[in-house]
Amino acid sequence: MKNTTEYAVYAGKRAKKSDLLPDCLRAFLTGGLICAGAQGMSELFLSLRIAEETVRILVPMILIFLTALLTGLGIFDNLAGFCGAGTLVPITGFANAVVSPALDSKNEGLVLGLGAKLFSVAGPVILYGTSASVVWGVLYWALGQLR
């Protein structure tokens, strides 16, 4: 191992990677469980004759609330360590990405702490998510004009 790149290649090769199959399986099962639970709630609310439009807001609100609560209690990060993408991909991941910096920076004040750091993790998702939807909107409109 004489030079820098040779060592980096050697170290990269010997480093154990995350176990993809069990990680995927856990993500599939736990993510599926969260979504099935949300669907169950949705069915329940509909059966209670709550308007569909309200149910569509109510279910994500409950998921966001539960995530915020579990994050605040210091439980969510342990759950996420097990579930991986299972908790990251549903709205739970987004909620945790907003609540955790809020908790972290509250001691630095409401404006320059919490306010400035609130979207430090979720910010890129919002930026590129909305940008992508704008681009897709323009394309959709252009395609419609061609027809």
Partner 1 sequence: MEGNNRKSGIIRLKRCPSIIGHAAAVGKKEHEGPLGAQFDYHDATDRFGQKTWELSEGEMQHIALNLALAKAKVPADSLGALFAGDLINQCTSSSYGLLDINAPFFGLYGACSTSAEGLILASLWMNSTESGSAAVVTSSHNCSAERQFRFPVEYGGIRTPTSQWTVTGAAAFILGDGQGAYITELMPGKSIDRGITDPNNMGAAMAPAAVDTLTRYFRESGMKPSDFDAIFTGDLGFEGHSIVNEMMCADGINLSDNYLDCGLLIYDREGQDMHAGGSGCGCSASVLSAYILPKLEKGEYHDILFVATGALMSPMLVLQGQSIPGIAHLVRITKERNL
What are the C-alpha distances in Å from 50 to residues 39, 46, 47, 59? 14, 5, 7, 12
Would you count residue 13 as binding partner 1 (CB under 8 A)? Answer: no
What is the number of other CB atoms lying within 10 angstroms of the CB of residue 100? 21
Question: 23 or 38, CB closer to partner 1?
Answer: 23
Q: Give the integer Cα–Cα distance in Å for 81 and 70.
A: 13
Would you count residue 71 as binding partner 1 (CB under 8 A)? Answer: yes
Would you count residue 74 as binding partner 1 (CB under 8 A)? Answer: yes
Would you count residue 77 as binding partner 1 (CB under 8 A)? Answer: yes
Would you count residue 90 as binding partner 1 (CB under 8 A)? Answer: no
Q: Give the integer Cα–Cα distance in Å for 21 and 33.
A: 18
Question: 6 or 43, CB closer to partner 1?
Answer: 6
* Sole window of 33-41, 47-55, 104-112, 134-142 interacting with partner 1 (rule: CB under 8 A): 104-112
What's the token pair of residue 49?
């004759």
The SS3 of residue 122 is coil
Q: Of residues 49, 81, 145, 146, which one binds partner 1 by CB under 8 A?
A: 81
Would you count residue 5 as binding partner 1 (CB under 8 A)? Answer: yes
Q: Give the integer Cα–Cα distance in Å for 88 and 96.
A: 8
DSSP annotation of 44 reads H
**Chain residues in the site for partner 1 (CB under 8 A):** 1, 4-5, 7-8, 11-12, 14-18, 23, 71-72, 74, 76-81, 84, 87-88, 93, 96-97, 99-101, 103-105, 107, 120-121
